[in-house]
Amino acid sequence: NPQRDYDLSRPINLDGVGLRQKLTSYGDAHFSLFMRKLFIKAMGYSEDALSRPIVGIVNTYSSFNPCHANIPQLIDAVKRGVQLHGGLAIDFPTISLHESFAAPTSMFLRNLMSIDTEEMIRAQPVDAVVLIGGCDKTTPAQLMGGISANKPIIHLVTGPMMPGSFKGTRVGACTDCRNNWATFRAGGLDIEDISNLNEELAPTAGTCGVMGTASTMACLLVALGMMPIQGATPAAVSSARLRIAESTGVHAVQLTQSRLAPQTILTRESFLNAITVLQAIGGSTNAMVHLMAIVNRHPTLAGTVTPATVDEIGRRTPLLVDLKPSGNNYMTDFHNAGGMPALLHQLRPLLHLDALTVTGHTLGEELSKVSILTLPPDHPANCIRPFTAPLYPSSALIVFQHGNLSPGGAAVLKASASKDRRLIQNYRGRAVVFHGSADLAARIDDPALDVDADSVLILTGIGPVGNPGMPEAGLIPIPRKLAAQGVQDMLRISDGRMSGTAGGTIVLHVSPEGADPGSILGVVRDGDVVVCDAETRELSVEVDENELRDRLRRRREEMQHRAASAVAAGNEDGLEGTLEPWVARDRLRGYRGLYMREVNQAEHGADFAFLTAAGPGPAPRSAR
C-alpha cells in the first residue's frame, strides 16, 4: 500500500531494495521516497513496478560505435529476462568508446569511463547492474568502475562481428586490415583491391572478430567469473547472443537477492584463472594492462597480481586457441568449436575450479552444467587444440623481467605472434631510435634511413604520459625499403601499446616510459646494441652504467632548460609538445592535465593513482 510510505507516524526504513535504497539527501526519509516516486512515475511506472528490485542496465550505445550497434536489441532482451523474473529493468547511459572514434586514443578515456560507470552505479537506486559493453576499453572500464562501486554487477558483451569475404578468402577486423595494408604498402595489392577490402573488413555489428582486445577481455570476464561461461563468443548478430542477454537479465535478478558484489566474487584465484586463459588464447597484450588496473581496484587483492604473475603462469600454460593474430581463425570459429566452455574444459588441470562466479556457483560447477562440444582434434573446424597437442607449448605472452631497459617489469611480447623466432633468441641488434610518432612518420620510409634487416627499431615517447593515453602505435612499420626487399618482421620496442589484432616481434609497455626523466629507454641512441632474449627474459641496452647515468643527467638538465626557456618566452604551449610532457603536466588544465598528472605506469595498469584501492597515497609520482 503506497499510502504507508507517506504515513508520517510510521517509521520508514530506506535500507531496502529498489527505490527504498539509502541514497539520498532530500532531508527526511518519507519525503525522499515521495520525491523519488513522483519523478520516476513520470516515466510511466506503476506502484507495482516500483515495488520490485531494480536492475540497472548500462547503455553504451552510440551511433559512432559499430561495436555496440546491437545494444538496443540486447537491452530489450535483458529487460525481458529481468521482467519475466520479477525485477524492474531500468537502462541508463554512460559514455561510449570506440577504438577509432576516441581521439587521441580510447585508452586516454578508459579511466574517465570507469569513473562515469562507478559514479552512476553509486548514484542511482540500482540493486544490480548489467554492464553491456564490448569494444576494447569498455569492458575493462566497466569492471574497474564496478569493482570500485561494489554493487552487484554482471557483464554482457555485445559479441564479435562476423568475418567478411574478399576474393574467396575470409577477412576480418582487424588483423586482416593490417596485413593487407602492409601488402599494399609493399606494392602487393593495388588501390582498387584495397578499396574493395575496405567494404568487407567489418561486415556486421559487433567487436573485432579475431583475438584482439575485445575478444580477449570477453574471455577474461568469463574466467574471472564476472560473466556466464557461454557469454563470450556468440556473434553480435546471432540469436544466441540475444538468448545470452535474456539469461543475463535473469542472473541479474538473482544477484539482487544474493547481493554478491565483485569485491566478494573476485579472489586471487579468479585472476590466476584469467591469466591462464589469457595465455591459452594468445590474448591481447593490452589485456595485461587492463588486468593490472582491474586487480588494483580491489582493496585486498591490489598488488598481489603483477606482470610477473602473467609470465609465471605463461610458463606452464600452452596456447590452445588457433585464432588470428597468433593463428588462422575467427571468433565465430572459436564459438562453433565450443567456445569458452570447451576451452575451460581443456584447461581444467590448470584452473582453480572452486573460484566463485557471478551466478553464485563456482567455475567448476558452471562448467559441469553445460554440455561441452569437443570436435575431433583433426576436424578442420577445430580451432581449440587439446591440452596435450597445443599450438604453441607455453608462454604465448612473455614479460621481460631482467635487464636495464624496462626495470618497471611491464615489457611484454606476444611471442606466439612473432613471425621470426630468431629475433628473440639471444638477439643483438643495432638500435634505430624514433622520438614520438611524428618523428617515426617523418623518417621511417626515408630511403636514406640508416637501417637494415637486423636493426632494432625503437620508438620512445608513446607511453601513458609521453603521448597521453599510450596509443596503439607500438606496431612500428617495417621501413618501406626493407619491406620491398621482403623483410616481414623485425625486433621492435616501444613504451606504447599495440592493437591486440596485430602481430610481429614487438615488445611493448616498456617502463618507466621514455618521457620519464629517469627512463633508460628515453636515452637509448642510434647504434646502441640492444639485447633481447625470450629464454632468460632479458631486455637490455649494452651501454655501461656510467655512460647511462651521464646521459640521464644531461637529459634532465636539457629538459629543465627547455622548460625554463619556454616559460620565459611566454610560450607555455610549447611545453605540451612531445619533448616535455613530464614538465608540462603540472600546468595543463582539464581532463588532459588530470590524466597526465595522475596516470601510473603500465605495470600498475595505467590507471589514475587516486582511483586505485591504495588511493592517492604518498608515493612519488615517478613510482606511481
- Give the residues lining the site for ligand FES (CB under 6 A): 67, 98-99, 135-136, 173, 207-208, 212, 214
Residue 418 interface partner, choices Mg ion, ligand FES, none, CB cut-off 5-8 Å depending on type: none
* Minimum distance of ligand FES from residue 246's CB (angstroms): 23
Nearest approach in angstroms of CB 172 to ligand FES is 10
Residue 497: closest CA among 468, 523, 518: 468
User: Which of ligand FES, Mg ion, none does residue 67 bind to, with CB < 5 to 8 Å depending on kind?
Assistant: ligand FES
Check the CA dihedral 564-566-572-577 and report its sign: negative
Virtual torsion, Cα 129, 130, 135, 140, nearest 10 deg: 40
Number of H helices, E strands in the chain: 22, 14
What is the nearest approach in angstroms of Mg ion to the Cβ of residue 207? Answer: 9
Q: Which of 91, 118, 127, 136 binds Mg ion (CB under 5 A)?
A: 136
Using the minimum distance from each CB to Mg ion, give the nearer residue, 94 or 499.
499
98 touches, from ligand FES, Mg ion, none (C-beta below 5 to 8 Å by class): ligand FES
Closer to Mg ion at the Cβ: 81 or 212?
Answer: 212
b/e sequence 476-494, b meaning 16+ C-beta within 10 Å: bbbbbbbbeeebebbbbbb
Rounded least distance, CB 212 to ligand FES, Å: 6
How far is Cα 448 from Cα 263, in angstroms, rounded to an integer? Answer: 56
CB of 233 vs ligand FES, minimal distance in Å: 14
Report the C-alpha gap between 161 and 183 in whole angstroms.
24
Q: Which is nearer to ligand FES, 208 or 305 (CB)?
A: 208
Q: Binding string, 590-619, against Mg ion, x = CB under 5 A?
A: ------------------------------
CA distances from 547 to 137, 528, 543, 561, 570 (A): 40, 12, 7, 21, 35
Q: Does 317 contact Mg ion by CB under 5 A?
A: no
135 binds, among ligand FES, Mg ion, none (CB under 5 to 8 A by kind): ligand FES
Going along 252-407, which residue ranges are E strands? 397-399
Between 107 and 405, whose beta carbon lies closer to ligand FES?
A: 107
| Least distance from ligand FES to the Cβ atom of residue 97, Å | 9
246 binds, among Mg ion, ligand FES, none (CB under 5 to 8 A by kind): none
* Residue 485 beta carbon to ligand FES: minimum distance, rounded to whole angstroms: 32
Smallest separation, CB 369 to ligand FES (Å): 29
| Partner touching 366 among Mg ion, ligand FES, none, CB below 5 to 8 Å by kind | none
CA distance 595 to 592: 5
Closest CB 271 distance from ligand FES, rounded Å: 23
Q: Which C-beta is closer to ligand FES: that of 40 or that of 95? A: 95
Residue 96, contacted partner among Mg ion, ligand FES, none, CB below 5-8 A by kind:
none
Range 473-532, binding Mg ion (CB under 5 A): 499
Give the DSSP H or E segment for 115.
helix 106-123
Minimum CB separation of residue 213 from Mg ion in Å reads 4
- The amino acid sitting at 302 is A
Residue 188 CB neighbours (<10 A): 12
C-beta closer to Mg ion: residue 208 or 410? 208
Query: Which pairs with CB-CB distance under 8 Å and at least 24 residues apart come from 21-25?
Result: 21/125, 21/127, 23/123, 23/124, 23/125
Choose among 528, 522, 551: nearest CA to 406: 522
C-beta of 136 vs 495, nearer to Mg ion? 136
Q: What is the C-alpha R_g of the chain?
A: 25
Residue 256: contacted member of ligand FES, Mg ion, none (CB under 5 to 8 Å, by partner type): none
From ligand FES, Mg ion, none, interface partner of 539 (C-beta below 5 to 8 A by class): none
Q: Are 359 and 251 in contact (CB under 8 A)?
A: yes
How many other β-carbons are positioned within 10 Å of the β-carbon of residue 109? 21
Residue 145 and residue 538: Cα distance in Å, rounded?
A: 35
Residue range at the interface with Mg ion (CB under 5 A); choices 77-85, 208-216, 555-563, 572-580: 208-216
Does 212 help bind Mg ion (rule: CB under 5 A)?
Answer: yes
- 105 is a contact residue toward Mg ion (CB under 5 A): no
Report the residue number, 210 or 530, with the smaller CB distance to ligand FES: 210
Determine if 213 is a binding residue for Mg ion (CB under 5 A): yes
Write down the least CB distance from residue 208 to ligand FES, Å: 3
What is the C-alpha to C-alpha distance for residues 510 and 521, in angstroms, rounded to an integer? 8
Nearer to Mg ion, 212 or 429 (CB): 212
Q: In 10 A of CB 518, how many CB atoms?
A: 14
Q: Which is nearer to ligand FES, 286 or 346 (CB)?
A: 286
Choose the binding region for Mg ion from 111-119, 135-143, 199-207, 431-439 (rule: CB under 5 A): 135-143
- CB closer to ligand FES out of 98 and 297: 98
Place of cell 527505490: 19
H-only helix segments in 445-518: 480-484
| E runs forming strands in 368-478 | 397-399, 412-414, 427-435, 456-460
Minimum CB distance to ligand FES smaller for 205 or for 275:
205
The binder of 588, among Mg ion, ligand FES, none, by C-beta within 5 to 8 A per type, is none
From Mg ion, ligand FES, none, interface partner of 207 (C-beta below 5 to 8 A by class): ligand FES
Residue 178 and residue 475 in contact, taking contact as beta carbons nearer than 8 Å: yes
Helices assigned H by DSSP within 186-267: 191-198, 213-224, 239-258, 262-265
CA atoms within 13 A on the CB side of 218: 33
- Distance of closest approach, residue 184 Cβ to Mg ion, in angstroms: 20
Closest distance to ligand FES from the beta carbon of 331 (Å): 10
Count of CA atoms in the C-beta half-sphere (13 A) of 228: 20
Min dist CB 105 to ligand FES, Å, is 12
Nearer to ligand FES, 62 or 150 (CB): 62
Q: Among residues 451 and 502, whose Cβ is nearest to ligand FES?
A: 502
Task: Give the integer Cα–Cα distance in Å for 120 and 407.
Answer: 38
Looking only at the bridges linking them, the beta strands covering 412-414 and 506-508 are antiparallel
Interaction site with Mg ion (CB under 5 A)? 136, 212-213, 499
